[in-house]
């Protein structure tokens, strides 16, 4: 019997419809589908699913770690959790620009906050130029500007600058 797992967030229409459809179509071949339930993953533990459809690991680090482990144990995972780690929007835009795709002026910026073990003085961040010339950066991209994380999914927590240039 093959089991399909679904890993998702606060979606309300797709998950139940997906599970119902897989269960309906797969019944004759012994294929079932259900939500993945996790509570800690042991190293080397076999995953109970033949296939996992992932719609949330870009938001939850633990899920991404679990999925990578499941792949090593022989589970097929859709969407590839390894690609997310190697991918970011800034890189994608740089590649697109290199091959001739029109890309808006884009800048990657230092992050707003750091983990507790990062010394905010010169010890950990000695490669970071300070102060940052925000006016020059905004002059480059133009105003209004849209600020969003370079990594991760979707448009969550997007900030649009509405400050007009003086």
pLDDT computed for residue 166 by the predictor:
43
Position with higher pLDDT, 155 vs 33: 33
Predicted TM-score of the model (pTM): 0.60
pLDDT computed for residue 111 by the predictor:
76
User: pLDDT tier at 66 (50, 70, 90 boundaries)?
Assistant: very high
Position with higher pLDDT, 48 vs 146: 48
pLDDT computed for residue 54 by the predictor:
93
Range among 58-62, 109-113, 118-122, 141-145 with highest mean pLDDT value = 141-145
State the CB neighbour count (10 A cutoff) for residue 160: 9
Cβ neighbors of 145 (< 8 A, separation 6 or more) are: 138, 160, 161
Q: In what order do the strands lie in the sheet with 31-35?
A: 31-35, 2-7, 51-54, 76-78
Strand-strand pairing, 146-147 and 159-160: antiparallel
State the CB neighbour count (10 A cutoff) for residue 77: 21
């Amino acid at each position: 019997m093959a089991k399909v797992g679904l890993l998702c967030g606060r979606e309300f229409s797709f998950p139940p419809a997906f599970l119902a459809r897989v269960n309906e179509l797969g019944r004759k071949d012994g294929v079932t589908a259900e939500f993945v339930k996790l509570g800690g993953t042991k190293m080397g533990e076999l995953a109970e699913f033949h296939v996992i459809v992932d719609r949330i690991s870009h938001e939850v680090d633990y899920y991404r770690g679990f999925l990578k482990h499941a792949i090593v144990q022989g589970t097929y995972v859709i969407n590839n959790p390894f690609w997310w780690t190697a991918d970011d929007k800034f890189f994608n835009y740089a590649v697109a620009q290199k091959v001739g795709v029109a890309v808006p002026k884009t800048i990657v910026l230092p992050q707003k906050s750091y983990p507790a073990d990062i010394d905010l003085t010169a010890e950990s961040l000695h490669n970071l130029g300070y102060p940052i010339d925000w006016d020059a950066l905004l002059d480059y991209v133009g105003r209004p500007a849209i600020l969003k994380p370079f990594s991760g999914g979707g448009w969550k927590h997007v900030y649009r600058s509405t400050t007009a240039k003086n």
